[in-house]
Amino acid sequence: MFSAASLFTIILLALSTTGSPVEVSNSPITLPIARRLSALNAVGIGSPPTTYDLIVDTGTSNTWIGAKKQYVGTSTSVYTGAPVTVLYGSGSAYFSGIEYLDTVTFGSGLTIPQQSFGVAATTSGTFGGADGILGLGPIDLTAGTLINEPATTIPTVTDNLHSQGTIHREVVSISFEPITVAKEVVNGELTFGGTIRNKHTGPITYTPITTTQPSSRYWGIDQSISYGSTTILSSTAGIVDVGTTYILIASDAFDKYQSLTGGTLDAATGLLLISSPQYAALENLNFHIGSETYTLTPNGQIWPRILNTYIGGSSNAIYLVVHDIGTPSGKGFDFVNGYPFAERFYCAFDTSRSRVGFAQTPYTDATTN
């Protein structure tokens, strides 16, 4: 999650699992996920479990609850008393609370005993009405979040699923279908332990985690971006984060993008607004990662018009999903490939091999908005 963008659109785990994914040892485990417009019971904590709405976030690694619903300890609860704090983006959004250990349950059969999570005492920022966050980033991001033990890392949900033998590969993959209706729908899948072949149409190509700080602590990669044939961001480091609503790029790159598209900043939404003729003239936005190029078509660059009013926009307006990250390039954190990127490209996050993979999907070139 990156606080420079609105978090109105968030992704949550649905309560039920698909099929019986935990009956076969070491097989990938797939759960349906939804882009949220209203409440959805999601993750169970405790025994018996209380369900919480949690944002699925690859841009952070701590799991916490309590932004909306209070945590009530059960017979399986362990109070560690350790204070924990997580800052998001520039630090304007944060969570602060106390660490607990308890049983975490996804759906009807996937259970992690003694998973660490935070219980909020205070929060700041917009969490879209969710109860908290399910952190799916690398474990190194948890370093420094335990206030009294800054060098200590906290095993993530993915780490624990792997260590207890539930999954064989320490991989999380995510797929989505673009939103076409103005209601809460299950439009994607979160898979622990591997990838799902029928969710992508081409091979998954992996790129190593960048060595550039601070992006190297995240699911960080190196890429360049071009609009049509014009380079707007030279090869640099940034991150992949499905918990960020928009695609964020360095301020100088954003200025070039705005000039090339002719968009004007809309006061109501904070997004670039374009006219119908400008949309007709829109060119592809190309993400050059390793030896591959991943192309967002003009349709993939616009906010779903069916959801315009949910962000304070006009129902018939055309808004672009590319947003200013707020700092110039060269800072080691020059882009965030957010949710609109993940809608069009299958994403696989491989902890064991320190890499991120992408593939084309049936929706890469689809016209849906």
Q: Quote the CA–CA distance of 76 and 180 in Å, as a whole number.
A: 42
Residue 206 near residue 195 (C-beta atoms within 8 A):
no
Nearest to 42 by CA among 124, 105, 115: 105
For residue 241, indicate whether it is catalytic.
yes
Q: Phi then psi for 253, rounded to 5 degrees?
A: -70, -40
Q: Give the tokens for residue 256.
A: 């070039």
SS3 call for 293: strand
Distance of CA 68 to the CA centre of its chain: 20
DSSP result, 170-222: -EEEEEE----SSS-EEEEEEEESS--GGG-SS--EEEEPP-STTGGGSSEEE
Among 53, 102, 241, 266, the one annotated catalytic:
241
For residue 57, indicate whether it is catalytic.
yes
Kind of pairing between the strands at 54-57 and 171-176? unpaired
Kind of pairing between the strands at 78-88 and 132-135? unpaired
Q: Quote the CA–CA distance of 173 and 73 in Å, as a whole number.
A: 31
Residue 110 near residue 98 (C-beta atoms within 8 A):
no
Handedness of CA 220, 131, 5, 94 (dihedral sign): negative
Distance of CA 320 to the CA centre of its chain: 19
Q: What residues are labeled active site? A: 57, 241
